[in-house]
């Protein structure tokens, strides 16, 4: 076997050195790629974190009403609004509500209160549920409580910021940034149109701390505005406080009540009720969440109706809310 001379040794070392250098360069390129991916990931995380918290459960359109699905609901379920289920006792009413929702998917929470005699009935009324746009009630309540003692707040001019654009379906979505709107106008849009941009602007204007303080002032113990959770009982308690004008004056009460009548979403509580019944209400819509709550003003007495759902199916939930509302109306009308 021949001996390797110095020139060959030098050539081998140079070749190995090149391979080592090439490998190191590859590692450098690989490390750079990992760093770039990590940087992009960090930017995405920071961007998501910058989105306002209320966009998590509030960005669906104001109404889930769908013409195609609605036709299917009406075709599959024939209902005569003149029909009345003869229920004369609270126990019968409770059992009927259980029978109505037991076969349905998801969770149902119901609360009703009769102003004429203080009678109330509930089903899972203390269970925490996703508020969705029912949280707009608490923002409106905060505004009107402040407005009752300081009328100048109504004309407070609020600027639209980029962060407020949480809903492309809003009537304000086409308005340029820095557009100005009055606080009272935005509050009306929240209640009547379920406008999410108006909701975002008013939440920023009033402050989450003030909204939480309002909730505590009317003893909403199961409500957490930060996480968008509440209970049917708390929503009912809000409407009791509103009806009794505990946090606002007479004029403000009339404004709130009217703002919640003839809304963009009349496809739930009011749907099967007779024309003489006036309903001031607010819906809540999210994925699996189809809720409605309000005061029903009837010639035979006024009462609160709250129906909330979690993980429900639209085709089941909408007819259920309508039927629950009609059942409660028939029951309280007999009193």
| pLDDT tens digits for range 62-105 | 444 454 554 555 445 445 555 666 899 999 999 999 999 999 99
- Name the β-bridge partners of 130: 229
Least confident of 14-28, 176-190, 283-297: 14-28
Question: Residue 279: what are its φ and ψ, rounded to 5°?
Answer: -120, 120
Confidence category of residue 197, pLDDT binned at 50, 70, 90: very high
Over residues 18-23, the mean pLDDT reads 42
pLDDT (0 to 100) of residue 141? 99
Confidence category of residue 37, pLDDT binned at 50, 70, 90: low
pLDDT (0 to 100) of residue 283? 98
Over residues 267-278, the mean pLDDT reads 96
Which tops the pLDDT comparison, 28 or 331? 331
pLDDT (0 to 100) of residue 165? 84
Over residues 189-202, the mean pLDDT reads 96
Confidence category of residue 279, pLDDT binned at 50, 70, 90: very high
pLDDT (0 to 100) of residue 6? 43
Rg (CA), the chain: 29
pLDDT (0 to 100) of residue 173? 73
Q: How many residues does the chain have?
A: 335
Strands (E), 41-196: 107-114, 120-123, 129-130, 157-159, 180-182
The tokens describing 297, both together, are 């003003």
The residues, ordered by sequence, that sit 6+ positions from 138 with a Cβ below 8 Å of its Cβ are 211, 214, 215, 220, 223, 225, 238
pLDDT (0 to 100) of residue 55? 43
Residue 10 scores a pLDDT above 90: no
- Name the β-bridge partners of 289: 286
Q: How far apart are the first and last CA of the chain?
A: 115
Mean pLDDT of the chain: 84
Question: Residue 148: what are its φ and ψ, rounded to 5°?
Answer: -60, -25
Residue 310 scores a pLDDT above 80: yes
pLDDT (0 to 100) of residue 57? 52
pLDDT (0 to 100) of residue 71? 52
Over residues 195-200, the mean pLDDT reads 95
Which of 138, 118, 157 is closest to 238 using CA atoms?
A: 138
Which tops the pLDDT comparison, 238 or 4? 238
pTM of the full structure: 0.78
Residue whose token pair is 């994925």: 287
């Amino acid at each position: 076997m021949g001996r390797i001379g110095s020139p060959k040794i030098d050539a081998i070392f140079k070749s190995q050195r090149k391979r080592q250098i090439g490998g190191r360069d590859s590692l450098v390129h690989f490390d750079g790629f990992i760093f770039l991916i990590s940087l992009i990931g960090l930017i995405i995380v920071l961007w998501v974190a910058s989105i306002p918290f209320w966009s998590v459960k509030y960005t669906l359109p104001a109404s889930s009403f769908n013409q195609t699905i609605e036709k299917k609901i009406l075709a599959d379920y024939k209902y005569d609004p003149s029909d009345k289920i003869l229920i004369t006792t609270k126990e019968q009413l409770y059992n009927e509500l259980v029978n109505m929702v037991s076969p349905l998917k998801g969770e149902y929470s119901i609360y009703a209160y009769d102003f004429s005699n203080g009678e109330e009935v509930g089903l899972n009324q203390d269970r925490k549920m996703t508020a969705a746009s029912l949280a707009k009630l608490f923002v409106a309540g905060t505004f009107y409580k402040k407005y009752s003692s300081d009328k100048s707040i109504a004309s407070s001019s609020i600027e639209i910021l980029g962060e407020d654009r949480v809903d492309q379906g809003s009537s304000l979505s086409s308005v340029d940034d820095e557009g100005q709107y009055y606080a009272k106008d935005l509050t009306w849009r929240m209640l009547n149109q379920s406008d999410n941009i108006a909701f975002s602007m008013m939440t920023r204007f009033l402050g989450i701390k003030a909204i939480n303080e309002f909730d505590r002032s009317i003893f909403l113990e199961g409500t957490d505005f930060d996480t968008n959770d509440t209970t049917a009982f708390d929503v009912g308690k809000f409407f009791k406080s509103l009806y009794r004008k505990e946090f606002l004056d007479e004029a403000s009460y009339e404004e709130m009540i009217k703002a919640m009548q003839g809304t963009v979403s009349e496809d739930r509580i009011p749907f099967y009720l007779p024309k003489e019944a006036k309903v001031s209400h607010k819906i809540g819509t999210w994925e699996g969440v189809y809720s409605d709550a309000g005061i029903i003003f009837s010639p035979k007495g006024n009462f609160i109706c709250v129906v909330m759902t979690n993980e429900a199916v639209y085709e089941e939930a909408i007819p259920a809310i309508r039927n629950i509302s009609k059942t409660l109306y028939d029951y309280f009308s007999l009193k």
